[in-house]
Amino acid sequence: MTAMVNGESSGGEGSGVGVRVNEVPESDWELWRDLRLEALADSPTAFGETLAMARTKTEEDWRSWWDGRPDAGPRYIASVDGSPAGMCSICFPEDHDRRPLLISMWTSPKARGRGVGRAMLDACVAYCRREGRPQFRLGVVDDNLSALRWYERYGFTLTGGSEPLFSDPSKLVLWMAVSLDSEAETEAAA
Ligand SMILES: CC(C)(COP(=O)(O)OP(=O)(O)OC[C@H]1O[C@@H](n2cnc3c(N)ncnc32)[C@H](O)[C@@H]1OP(=O)(O)O)[C@@H](O)C(=O)NCCC(=O)NCCS
């Protein structure tokens, strides 16, 4: 099984057949926007942003990600046999001490279970390793147990930290992390 990251084989075990992961340039902002709106409609409780919030964004808002913001990292879109099938992004939030944080992870329902998500995680981890980052973090909503277990199988563990979900403060975002130290590989970081 082969997954391609920007044209290079990621070689990740479990990666899906015909999956490509490409970094999204600003010129593809509409593709990113359309997938994001699809993701928010499909999985309304999985993210801090709601579909209603995203629909109010202007072209300038969407494009601003690529304006050299200090919190903005690479965005990735995965394709299966040439069709967009998933998305994710890395950001560097000030309240996470600018450490890399996974956001917007989503695979189209028809493409799930084929290694698309794993290929996108592999692309993010490869980026963090290239940048010499010792740790990669993410937040998962406390009732999204299937995603939480999936991240655990990848090597993330809960840090013990949490905060209320922006779009629904009755829920918690649980922080998870994976250590990228060469000796620790996929052991989780506290
Ligand atoms: C979580 C999510 C991104 C995973 O994406 P994916 O492309 O299905 O991920 P993969 O195919 O790499 O892995 C899915 C796992 O479920 C298993 N699986 C088997 N059949 C499956 C199916 N029909 N659907 C989903 N997963 C299936 C796969 O074998 C794999 O197991 P593994 O972890 O042991 O490798 C996807 O389910 C999703 O978009 N969920 C909704 C949004 C969401 O919750 N995002 C996370 C926000 S923090």
Pairwise CA distance, residues 175 & 85, whole Å: 25
Can you read off the two tokens belonging to residue 77?
């879109």
For the CA of 150, the nearest atom of ligand 1: 33
Q: Is 21 in the pocket of ligand 1 (CB under 6 A)?
A: no
Pairwise CA distance, residues 127 & 161, whole Å: 24
- Lay out the sheet containing 83-91: strands in order across: 8-9, 3-5, 19-23, 72-80, 83-91, 101-107, 135-141, 168-179, 157-165
DSSP element (H, E) containing 86: strand 83-91
pLDDT in tens, 20-63: 999 999 999 999 999 999 999 999 999 999 999 999 999 999 99
Q: Is 120 in the pocket of ligand 1 (CB under 6 A)?
A: no
Half-sphere exposure of 73 (CA within 13 A, CB side): 23
Contact 174, 140 (CB under 8 A): yes
- Please work out, in degrees rounded to the nearest 5, the angle formed at the alpha carbon of residue 39 by the alpha carbons of 15 and 142: 85
3-class DSSP assignment, residue 34:
helix
Structural domains in the chain, CATH included, are: 3-133 (3.40.630.30)
Nearest protein Cα to ligand 1, atom 10: 115
Q: Which of 42-51, 152-161, 174-183 has the lowest mean pLDDT?
A: 174-183
- The overall average pLDDT reported for the chain is 90
pLDDT in tens, 75-105: 999 999 999 999 999 999 999 999 999 999 9
